[in-house]
Amino acid sequence: MQRHFHEELDALKQTVLAMGGLVEDQIRRVMRALLERDSDLAQEVIDRDRQVNAYDVEIDEKCVELLALHQPAAGDLRFITTAMKIVTDLERIGDQAVNIAQRTLELNRSRSSNPTWTCRGWRRRPSAW
């Protein structure tokens, strides 16, 4: 029973890491979309938000299940409760990426009437994203 619980904890850790990687990629993509005025990339960020939300639900459900079935103590309990807090923050960050993507689409549509809008100061470090 204990071995099974630790396998489930390891799977939970991997899922949290996968969600974090996805959110990190969302931020990278949306900044590139903004700087390069790429509407297609901005739309991809919006579309991929469903995946971030699915991770949020999956991880929350798994945490509740682990708490209810195994009644963890000490470090395991801290990890599970921390994971629940982390995914909430990751989901919010993912939502902010979507907000930036939506604004990028709006800016790209309005630029035809105002072609002087640029992110010149931001162009120094696009390779970092």
Q: Which pLDDT tens digit goes with each residue over 8-66?
A: 999 999 999 999 999 999 999 999 999 999 999 999 999 999 999 999 999 999 999 99
In eight-state DSSP terms, residue 125 is -
Comparing CA positions, the residue from 105, 125, 20, 5 lying closest to residue 65 is 5
Going from N- to C-terminal start, the domains of the chain cover 2-113
Instruction: Please tell me whether residue 3 adopts helix, strand or coil conformation.
Output: helix
Cβ-contact 71, 13 below 8 angstroms: no
Comparing CA positions, the residue from 5, 9, 2 lying closest to residue 59 is 9
Residue 118 in this model has a pLDDT that exceeds 70: no
Q: Would you state the CATH architecture of domain 2-113?
A: Up-down Bundle (1.20)
pLDDT of residue 2: 81
What would the two tokens of residue 12 be?
């939970």
Q: How many CB atoms lie within 10 A of CB 25?
A: 13
Comparing CA positions, the residue from 123, 122, 2 lying closest to residue 71 is 2
- Identify the burial level of 22 via C-beta atoms within 10 angstroms of its C-beta, where 0-12 means exposed, 13-18 middle and 19 or more buried: middle
